[in-house]
Structure 1
Amino acid sequence: MWGRGGFSESNFEGGGGGFLHDTSGGGHGFGSQAQDTKRSGSRSQSMMSVTVHQLVNADQDGDGFTINGKEVHQVTLIGRIVSVEESSTNIMYKIWDKTAEPLNIRKWIEVDDGSLEGDKRSECREGVMVRVTGHLRSFQGQRSMIAFGIAPVTDFNEITYHLMDVVYTHLAITKGVGGQSKSLATGLVNTEASHSHMGLSSTQNEIYEWILHCPEEAGISMEELSSKARAKSLTTHQVRQVIEFLSNEGHIYSTIDDDHFKATDG
């Protein structure tokens, strides 16, 4: 699917298309580096699966963006790194997904980044396929992203899953596709296999599954997660460590407050 041609722009003409999981949540500004890197704020918004083409064609109103009339908050995309420029404070990636020209994506380097984060940065080099989560911004007419998560794609089933998600959500917005169609579409991919790409430990994967399969609109609460964890001889502290990891990686996000979570693929 990424070998020859990839996604064609003609597949998503007319306002640039649109791919949205959830229309709830407020906007997020880009007035300062502190805002861009504030993870608690980042996790509180809804998540869109998109292509670069959708981002560069999104409608803009002030600091906010819409795709097919739906507000754009957090976004996630998959593409190949074509260039990397690193400074003492940030890394600028150019990422290409074959739907438009490469997009500039900036990832700030935080002073408290540990060795794990450093190892991850070293893996994100030219030619590597990565998943990026972050916020869309515009400066002097040029679209870019501020990333709060970027990680190599280790299982190429993730690309298929992402593109199916993009197609489904586009149809859900423009054609009014319902829940049964979503089940049929997502059923084409083995869900368990699609999660294994994330390279999670068994504990991380188990907690992620609890979050993913929670039917509540507001997501699963920290209290419920802790209760489930106690049955597995896990402490609340261990659960919070996993939650922070999953949030920073863009696998989950907080909803009504900092103690309720949903999976971005849910």
Structure 2
Amino acid sequence: MQRTELSHSVRPLTLAQVNKAHQAHTDAEWTLEGNEIGQVTIVGHVVNITEQATNVLYTLEDGTGKVEARRWKEQSSEEDAEKWGDIQVNQVIRATGHIKAFGNRKYVNAINIRPSEDPHEIYFHMMEALTVSLSLQNGPVRGPSGNASAYTAQSSGMANDDMAEYRHLPPLQREIIKVLLAQPEHDEGGVHVGVVAKAVQKQGGVTGTAISEALDALMDAGQIFTTSDDAHFQVSR
């Protein structure tokens, strides 16, 4: 099995790829075509919603297959609605999380779900998933400039430091990731948003609104997640 930097980051998958992923045994890492899978991000149409006492199941379809995304309810309905929003049947959503299995059924245990505001997102996502898969199988795909993409750079061993896998992110988002990784508590209870804002604003010219929007974008992409509350963040690794 090939281990790459992608096994510690977020990999886009089609729903067919989620269904093809497998484990050597119940405690093993999930793999697809010989490559270890860490977190995944999927996009699909919601065709059914099943609400249970402790969780909500969203059945998604994307034209390649069908997969359930499960998210766990918060302590109160207000917190639940604020974090997850009001997802409805027939919406297109993006879910980020880890592949799990119950019996013979695979599902994505979601740490983040958001509705898509771009009607083309599902098509872009499928092309991105295909690009990543091909680059892992056949080596880096280089563009007109001769440079490998962020994903292919990682899969070819070009990522040799902690920030290599984040080179494709906008500067402010990269700086936030750097701050989170630099804090001694980044692997425990998370880093408070105030610490992040103070460190980032030292660079000058960065507003609180810009920081908030960058944090939201990183959350949507599955690069970071909240820990003990909505004010503490941790890098998804």
Range class of TM-score, shorter chain: 0.5 to 0.7
Aligned to 2:170: 209
Matched residue, 1:49:
12
Q: Structure 1: how far apart are the matches of 2:4 and 2:125?
A: 12
Residues in 2 aligned to 1:84 and 1:91: alpha-carbon distance in whole angstroms: 7
CA gap 1:234/1:125 in 2 versus in 1, 3 angstroms = same
Decide whether the 8 Å contact of 1:134 with 1:148 is kept in 2. yes
Q: Distance in 2 between matches of 1:71 and 1:248?
A: 22
Counterpart-to-counterpart distance in 2, 1:117 and 1:107? 12
Query: 2:4·2:35 contact (CA, 8 Å) conserved in 1?
Result: no
One-letter amino acid matched to 1:128 = Q
Question: Residue 224 of structure 2: which of 253, 262, 266 is its match?
Answer: 253
Once the two structures are TM-superposed, the CA of residue 139 in structure 1 deviates from its matched residue by 1.7
| Distance in 2, Cα, partners of 1:172 & 1:246 | 25
Deviation sequence 1:83-130 (CA, Å, 0-9, x none): 011133211111111102x212211011167458348432x1111111
Find the partner of 1:170 among 111, 133, 142.
133
2:205 corresponds, among 232, 237, 251, to 232
Contact kept? 2:73, 2:80, Cα under 8 Å = no
Equivalent of 1:158, from 93, 116, 121? 121
Match status 1:106 vs 2:70: yes
Deviation of 1:150 (Å): 1.1
Give the AA of the match of 1:134. Answer: G
Q: Which structure 2 segments of 5+ residues have no match?
A: 150-168, 183-195, 226-231
Q: CA deviation at 1:244?
A: 5.8
The alignment's TM-score, normalised by the length of structure 1, stands at 0.59
Q: SS at 1:220's partner residue?
A: helix
User: Does the C-alpha gap of structure 1 residues 56 and 24 become closer, same or farther in structure 2, counting only changes over 3 Å?
Assistant: closer
Q: 1:59 aligns to what SS in structure 2?
A: coil
65, 75, 89: which is aligned to 2:54?
Answer: 89
Partner of 1:220: 178
Alpha-carbon distance between aligned partners in 2 of 1:141 and 1:244, rounded to the nearest angstrom: 36
Aligned with residue 6 of structure 2, among 9, 20, 23 = 23
Distance 2:47 2:234 in 1: 37
Q: Which residue of 1 aligns with 2:193?
A: none
Instruction: Work out the CA distance in 2 between the residues paired with 1:116 and 1:242.
Output: 20
SS in 1 for 2:63: coil
The verdict on how the C-alpha distance between 1:86 and 1:185 changes in structure 2, with shifts beyond 3 A counting, is farther
1:243, distance to aligned residue in structure 2 (A): 6.7
Q: Does 1:69 align with 2:42?
A: no
User: Corresponding residue for 1:39?
Assistant: none
| Distance in 2 between residues matched to 1:127 and 1:21, nearest whole Å | 36
Displacement after TM superposition at 1:48 (Å):
0.6
Q: Give the TM-score normalised by the residue count of structure 2.
A: 0.65
The alignment partner of 2:121 has SS state of helix
Question: Secondary structure at 1:221's aligned position in 2?
Answer: helix
Q: Counterpart of 1:133? A: 96
Aligned 8 A contact 1:221 1:259 in 2 = no
Letter in 1 for 2:38: H
Q: Deviations over 1:182-234 (max 9, x none)?
A: 98897xxxxxxxxxxxxxxxxxxxxx7325566xxxx5224787444242364
